[in-house]
Amino acid sequence: MKTESRYLRSQFVQAFALCSLVLLPNAGAWADEGMWTFDNPPTKQLRQRYNFTPTEEWLDHVRLSSVRFNDGGSGSFVSPHGLALTNHHVALGQLQKISTPQKDYVKDGFYARTQAEEVKCPDLELNVLISMENVTARVLGVLKPGMSDKETNDARKAEIAKIEKESLDKTGLRSDVISLYQGGEYWLYRYKKYTDVRMVFAPEQQIAFYGGDPDNFTYPRYDLDMAMFRVYENDKPADTSNYLRWDPQGASDGDLVFVSGNPGSTERLSTMVQLEDQRDCFYPLLLKMYRRRLGVLKQYAALGPEQAREATRQIFGIENSLKAFTGEYEGLQDKNLMAKRQKEETEFRARVDSNPEWKAAYGSAWDEIAKAEKLYMTRLKDTRFRSVRASSMAANAPTIVQYVAEVQKPDGQRLDGFHDSELESLRFRLLSPAPVYPKMEEALLVDSLQEGLEELGPNDVFIQTVLNGRSPREVATEVTAHTKLGDAAFRKSLLEGGPAAVAASTDPLVVLAVKIDPIMREVRKWYEDNVQSVETSAGEKIGKARFTVYGKTTYPDATFTLRLSYGTVKGYPMNGTKAPSHTTFYGLYDRAYSFDMKPPFQLPQRYVESKNKFDLSTPLDFVNTCDIIGGNSGSPVINRAGELVGLIFDGNIESLVGNYIYSEESNRAVAVHTAGMTEALRKVYDAGPLADELEGR
Amino acid sequence: MKTESRYLRSQFVQAFALCSLVLLPNAGAWADEGMWTFDNPPTKQLRQRYNFTPTEEWLDHVRLSSVRFNDGGSGSFVSPHGLALTNHHVALGQLQKISTPQKDYVKDGFYARTQAEEVKCPDLELNVLISMENVTARVLGVLKPGMSDKETNDARKAEIAKIEKESLDKTGLRSDVISLYQGGEYWLYRYKKYTDVRMVFAPEQQIAFYGGDPDNFTYPRYDLDMAMFRVYENDKPADTSNYLRWDPQGASDGDLVFVSGNPGSTERLSTMVQLEDQRDCFYPLLLKMYRRRLGVLKQYAALGPEQAREATRQIFGIENSLKAFTGEYEGLQDKNLMAKRQKEETEFRARVDSNPEWKAAYGSAWDEIAKAEKLYMTRLKDTRFRSVRASSMAANAPTIVQYVAEVQKPDGQRLDGFHDSELESLRFRLLSPAPVYPKMEEALLVDSLQEGLEELGPNDVFIQTVLNGRSPREVATEVTAHTKLGDAAFRKSLLEGGPAAVAASTDPLVVLAVKIDPIMREVRKWYEDNVQSVETSAGEKIGKARFTVYGKTTYPDATFTLRLSYGTVKGYPMNGTKAPSHTTFYGLYDRAYSFDMKPPFQLPQRYVESKNKFDLSTPLDFVNTCDIIGGNSGSPVINRAGELVGLIFDGNIESLVGNYIYSEESNRAVAVHTAGMTEALRKVYDAGPLADELEGR
């Protein structure tokens, strides 16, 4: 099951944060709030506020045209021939992986004029949500009175694994059981997978991410944050008859629009104790870790142009996360926001306690979570630092060690992440042929071991096991110098060779991973038995209580599964004046010349040369009130007719507290405008045929 | 003497607020803070921070090139032939006065291609500060121990009037004694006056005030807020050999720049009690009054295009004031700001009290002010509403009635405003031939009488005298229908006819003014004797204490006299990203198209037609850290070489608390760039000869 646990939050968050995005709630009687599941769309709000009723056909069309990018973003099909649109920053990882020191597609952009020129991505998996089935009764049916939290957790997990396995065997589709409403509901989501995904178009990063870190998460904005892939089946462009027609006029001020995508995670239904721990423990720690990681990467990038190229994506990702976390952290420090959340919780609990039956069934949940959280905080550092981190090459080692052990067990007894239904995607990722940059991996590993030493102390069992009296630099240098884990074929030999191959391996990273495996398992088991199991059970109570008290009037927290948001194309009060609902290419040139073409505000040469060749008054970016968050990057913006009018790529600065609360007043989703995309494709990139395919010509 | 009293604050503030501008202090060891008098320039800070030492010649050159616009702004000479540059919004009043229903120079702009086409302004007086003389010893010398506050006040005023009169008789120059450092110093400022001032150039208000009220007091900004006049003597362009050479490159990022102008008023040295009264009493009342006035004017403007034209300047002024007051009011509500001010005051008082001699001399001042303030608040409404307001035509009546009476008295015994040295300027204003719009005057008078009735109640002596049982509408309609005060010749006949002419007049407004004269005098005298005199004496103590404790290390509060500010051309953190140090014409077009050309973001037709005819990357506006406030509008921005590099026209939204505190971090003065001005003159306005004159070609 893919319920996000905060144990894994750090890595998840980074993945989502790559796709910026965040938005916030609040407002009274139904603002444009909510990330709604497709089984429960906000029909009442849409009818009352917008006089719009989505039909079943409309919903199916939107859902089947929507694509999840499994490395942390969203997208949509935009032609019947497998063409998929997403953000440049979602495509960034693949762009970097298909680049070489000689040909830097991140810097220069990429355009395949013919299908033959399309380049296959090494490890990109796309998912389309085919069906949804409510399996709450089945999951909860295995839980018996008198079970301990641990027994409950084990039974729940086993049943979920069983459902997923049965579905996979029956349908051949990727099958995930997800938990919604903190366990109030469990659903089986089935996905069609695409793993032959080829790069079609990407502009220069400098225009996709124009304004760089300073402009990130802000608006007005002037970014052409787009990229296109094509999905193939049997070496031919896939037939994607469910796709979004291109509205060349694009979104206009005041239009009702929808966003269909995969918001990563939110904390809107978390308890106050959980929020307070986020504020007082998680964010300070995360921010410290990310700042440290950023320093290492910047130091590495400063060594030369090739090093800078290698570190591009990670630097982008970490700066992006740091800016997002800072905004979220400030949100948690905002006394008004916290008071609002406290008021909601107090009222909810009072309602629960007012009915003896409800009180008996659900009333204890908040205190149970509080207790588990308190326990959790005592070993927070263990859960963070007793692991091989930062270097993705090195981090693969413990995963491989666990893989070969876990797959020996019955599915229901395995660690999450190793169930049968998950293995294909996991292998796809572990066996990626993408290039590895050993010197960067080494630098990251040196620092993460040093960080572990500082945080856990020299007497920690993990540290002693890893270092064994040597320095972090000695250990990291040695293992990265001699490991073959950078080679996909070696990784494959381990996976296929199973426990015997792993046990026999003398690869220093594998040897290290075997040594630390029991320590990592201990922490994980402790967390699952003492924190996760308690909080899941208590969360289920709160989820049920919410349905009981308020009915199913709300939407679940984000879970990186498909959601529908709705809203209006609308400016907002900003900086003492008004932000317009859209920007134009004129603004791009203004910002460039205003900063005297200094980075990160310089223009790619192509734009300097093209400035008199196209209509600068064409809309470039726009904002709307749709409720989104990290993971929604690349989501299509859709009009009433189910056509594409824009491409989500960010939230504004006011949106960063969206992890906790939504406010319609000034929080906005930021999108690229369809008119801007085709104008640039035709006039700046000379990519008329691609624009024609988008416009159905 | 021209010390601003808060009794008159409402009207003064409106005049200054017309010229936006405000900035804030704080920061540690000498930020770019301060509005320095030319006798005490911040040489130490300039040397230490910028390695720049202004010479006497440099200071004289800047001072003698600077011009005060007596209706509330600043400016500078920009050619040796009397050409004076200021803001469009400073020129707005005169532009409206020379316009007619047939020819609207506010809307369409104005350009005199030849000197013969230059149009004389009806009532614009420009002043150039010729000399400054410290007369503190003489003013304070007449104050004898044992005098009451009232006796002190009378003696001080009499001596000031005497100094002014002597100087006027001796030099023929306008001679004002001003109080600095709350009475810590008194200075005799002598001005050369220009009253034959002719309009040379103004762009369309839509480009001068681009973005209207929403963009006012904000940045980034795209306003060509400029206008030019020429001063004449003996019907020929005046010889202005002190003028600022035009730097065609203009200001660049990081440059040291200076602003020389006339900041109107600040409250940086006021006591906490005074600030609290501002927060709790003045601003709520002012905001209420201004909102009401705005409603009346908007209602009048909605009657038709001619009515809208007539109300333009007043609507602009009131919206401008409302936005400024709102920011100032929020500043006073900012707990951090008030805590900082409180800390300063507490420390200052502790220092004073720590020395028995200082304590005896100055220690009681704060409590004296507190007591006077408390008394003041008991009659705040009387001071505000026992007067003829809103209609400037009607408001002239009491002034004329007082004029003829006051000038009979020895100079030293007259009300402030009627001293010999002030009469010429006052007559110039009272006898202005500018058009009067009777229906607008009527609407304003109706409402201000109604407002007085509501605020003072029907039993108030002023209300009973004015209304005498009739309704505000009846009274206002009748007096405006039959008065001849709209006619300058009639006003002149009254001034020249003296008390007899006034007494004999049957003009209903004059009759009314005569009736209410004793009531208005009573309030004024009560205020002067019980509040002003106490606060002036106490203020003198605080001013002396400040010199005693800290030395003359600071600058006095603004007094609408000439000051020098300094700072750096520099962007700032804004809205989650960075604001650039300058904007370009590209941004103007971006904003226009972003708002779909909807008001107030539409472009004048000339700009739509010119968009491909000039270099849109030319700098348009820029920001700097100079410390300015309302009254600085139109001030020159000057480089190290004493050349003109820009034209101040506003402060950003972060600057609105500048009334109370300066902060270098994010508060900025906003200016038009010289390159933008000449580019527009040459390419958009076909005003090459004027640009040539500016550039000295």
B575 touching A (Cβ < 8 Å) = yes
Cα–Cα distances (Å) from B305 to B101, B107, B230, B302, B317, in that order, read 9, 11, 30, 8, 19
pLDDT in tens, B506-527: 999 999 999 999 999 999 999 9
Secondary element (H or E) of residue B671: strand B669-673
Query: How far is the C-alpha of B650 from the C-alpha of B594, rounded, in Å?
Result: 23
CA-based nearest residue in chain A for residue B656: A576
Contact between residue A612 and residue A210 where contact means Cβ atoms under 8 Å apart: no
Q: Inform me whether the C-beta atom of residue A25 falls under 8 Å from chain B C-beta atoms.
A: no
Q: Dihedral sign, CA of B501, B502, B503, B507? A: positive
Q: Which ipTM did the prediction report?
A: 0.91
Q: What are the E-state strand segments in A58-160?
A: 66-69, 73-77, 83-86, 110-111, 119-120, 126-134
Residue B455's H or E segment, with its range, is helix B438-456
Look at residues B516, B312, B525 and name the one whose alpha carbon lies nearest to residue B394.
B516
Residue B646: phi and psi, rounded to 5, are -175, 180
Longest dimension (CA), chain A: 75
Per-residue pLDDT tens digits for A606-624: 999 999 999 999 999 999 9
Helix residue spans in B302-430 (DSSP H): 305-333, 335-353, 356-362, 365-378, 380-385, 392-406, 420-430
Q: Is B146 exposed, middle or buried (0-12, 13-18, 19+ CB in 10 A)?
A: exposed
The pairing of beta strand B66-69 with beta strand B73-77: antiparallel
pLDDT of B228 reads 98
| % chain B with pLDDT above 90 | 89
Question: Does the pLDDT value for residue B23 go beyond 80?
Answer: no
Chain segment B257-298, per-residue pLDDT in tens: 999 999 999 999 999 999 999 999 999 999 999 999 999 999
Interface test with A, best of B326, B572, B586 (most A CBs within 10 A): B586
Handedness of CA A473, A477, A478, A484 (dihedral sign): positive
pLDDT the model gives residue B345: 96
| CA dist., res. B203 & res. B205, Å (int) | 6
pLDDT cut 90: percent of chain A above it: 89
By C-alpha distance, which of A440, A437, A445 is closest to A473? Answer: A445
A619, amino acid identity: P
In this complex, is the C-beta atom of A582 within 8 Å of any C-beta atom belonging to chain B?
yes
B578 interfaces chain A, CB cutoff of 8 Å: yes
Residues of B in Cβ contact (< 8 Å) with A214: 577-578
A601: nearest CA in chain B? Answer: B580
The answer to whether A187 and A133 are in contact (CB under 8 A) is yes
- The answer on pLDDT for A21 being more than 60 is no
* Closest residue on chain A to B213 (Cα): A577
Residue A24 pLDDT level (bands cut at 50, 70, 90): very low
Output the six-digit token pair for A226: 């787009």
Average pLDDT, chain B: 93
Kindly give, in sequence order, each residue whose CB lies less than 8 Å from that of residue B536, ignoring residues fewer than 6 positions away. Answer: B3, B152, B153, B156, B179, B183
Facing B590 at nearest CB: one of A575, A584, A595: A584
- Give the Cα separation of A627 and A514 in Å (integer): 44
CA distance B75 to A578: 30
Tens digits of per-residue pLDDT, B334-384?
A: 998 999 999 999 999 999 999 999 999 999 999 999 999 999 999 999 999
Q: Which two tokens stand for residue A264?
A: 């990563």
Rounded Cα distance between A627 and B655, Å, is 33
Residue showing tokens 């920001």: B623
B250 touches chain A (CB under 8 A): no
- For the record, the structure tokens of A82 come out as 């497998």
pLDDT for res B530? 95
A587 in contact with B at a CB cutoff of 8 Å?
yes
A595: nearest CA in chain B? B580
Residues B485, B510 contacting (CB under 8 angstroms):
yes
For residue A600, say if its preceding peptide bond is cis, omega within 30 degrees of 0. yes
Confidence of residue A390 (pLDDT cuts 50, 70, 90): confident
B332 vs B433: CA distance, rounded Å: 41
Q: Rounded to an integer, what is the distance from CA B541 to the centroid of its chain?
A: 27
C-alpha closest to that of B41 among B569, B552, B557, B643: B552
Average pLDDT over residues A363-392: 95
pLDDT reported for residue A603: 98
Report the C-alpha gap between B636 and B230 in whole angstroms.
Answer: 16
Q: With beta carbons less than 8 A apart as the criterion, state whether B683 and B693 touch.
A: no
- Over residues A452-494, the pLDDT tens digits come to 999 999 999 999 999 999 999 999 999 999 999 999 999 999 9
Whole-number Å distance between alpha carbons of A82 and A84 = 6
Average pLDDT over residues A22-43: 70
From chain A, the residues in CB contact with B616 under 8 A are 586, 589
What proportion of chain B, given as a percentage, has pLDDT over 70? 96
Distances A678 to A239, A584, B63, B297, B540 between C-alpha atoms, Å: 23, 13, 56, 47, 70
Q: What is the DSSP string of A228-272?
A: EEEEEETTEE----S-PPB-TT---TT-EEEEEE------SS--H
> A65-79, pLDDT tens digit by residue?
999 998 889 999 999
Query: Is residue B198 helix, strand or coil?
Result: strand
Determine the Cα angle at B546 with ends B256 and B66, to 5°.
35
Please determine, for residue A30, whether its predicted confidence score (pLDDT) is greater than 70. no
Please tell me the number of Cα atoms within 13 Å of A421 on its side-chain side.
Answer: 29
Rounded distance, CA B23 to CA B632, Å? 10
Tell me the pLDDT tens digit for each residue of A646-670: 999 999 999 998 998 888 888 999 9
Which of A676, A693, A568 lies closest to A627, judged by CA? A568
Contact between B575 and A578 using a beta-carbon 8 Å cutoff: no
Q: Read off the pLDDT of each residue in B411-419 and give the average, rounded to a whole number.
A: 91
Where is A623: in which H helix or E strand? Answer: strand A619-624
Residue environment code for A547-578, b if the CB has 16+ CB neighbours within 10 A, otherwise e: ebbeeeebbbbbbbbbbbbbbbbbbbebbbbb
Is some CB atom of chain B closer than 8 A to the CB atom of A254?
no
What is the C-alpha to C-alpha distance for residues B647 and B84, in angstroms, rounded to an integer? 12
pLDDT at A26: 34
- pLDDT class of B553 with cuts at 50, 70, 90: confident
Strand (E) or helix (H) holding A45: helix A43-50
| Both structure tokens of B342 | 């409180």
| Total residue length of chain B | 697
**Do B674 and B644 touch, CB atoms closer than 8 A?**
yes
Residues 6 or more apart whose CB falls under 8 angstroms from that of A1 comprise: A157, A160, A164, A176, A177, A178, A179, A186, A416
Provide the 3-class DSSP secondary structure of residue B56.
Answer: helix
Instruction: Report the C-alpha gap between A202 and A215 in whole angstroms.
Output: 20
Q: Specify the amino acid at residue B559.
A: T
Instruction: Give the tokens for residue A193.
Output: 């997978």
Compute the CA torsion angle A328, A332, A335, A338 (nearest 10 deg): 120
| pLDDT band for position B2 (cuts 50, 70, 90) | very low
How far CA A172 is from CA of A65, A123, A175, A426, in Å, comes to 20, 20, 8, 16
Q: What is the pLDDT of residue A7?
A: 43
Is B217's Cβ below 8 Å from some Cβ in A? yes
pLDDT tens, position by position, B644-689: 999 999 999 999 989 998 888 889 999 999 999 999 999 999 999 9
Report the distance separating Cα A578 and Cα B598, nearest Å: 13
Interatomic CA distance for residues A438 and A483, integer angstroms: 10
What pLDDT, on the 0 to 100 scale, is given for residue B30?
56
pLDDT at B694: 98
Mean pLDDT value across chain A? 93
pLDDT band, residue B25 (cuts 50/70/90) = very low
Confidence band of B31 (pLDDT split at 50, 70, 90): confident
The rounded distance, in Å, linking the Cα atoms of A488 and A346 is: 53
Alpha helices per DSSP H over B483-563? 488-504, 508-527, 533-550
| Contact A594/B at CB under 8 A | yes
What average pLDDT does the segment B286-313 reach?
96
Give the pLDDT confidence of B561-589 residue by residue, as tens digits: 999 999 999 999 999 999 999 999 999 99
B contacts of A577 (beta carbons < 8 Å): 211, 214-216, 218, 653
Decide if B613 touches A, using CB distance below 8 A: no
Contact by Cβ (8 Å): B592, B602:
yes
Cα A181 to Cα A187: distance, rounded to the nearest angstrom:
11
Structure token pair of residue B130: 């010729």
Residues of B in contact with A320 (CB under 8 A): none
Beta bridge partners of B579: B572
A-B CB pairs within 8 A amount to 85
Q: How many residues does chain A have?
A: 697
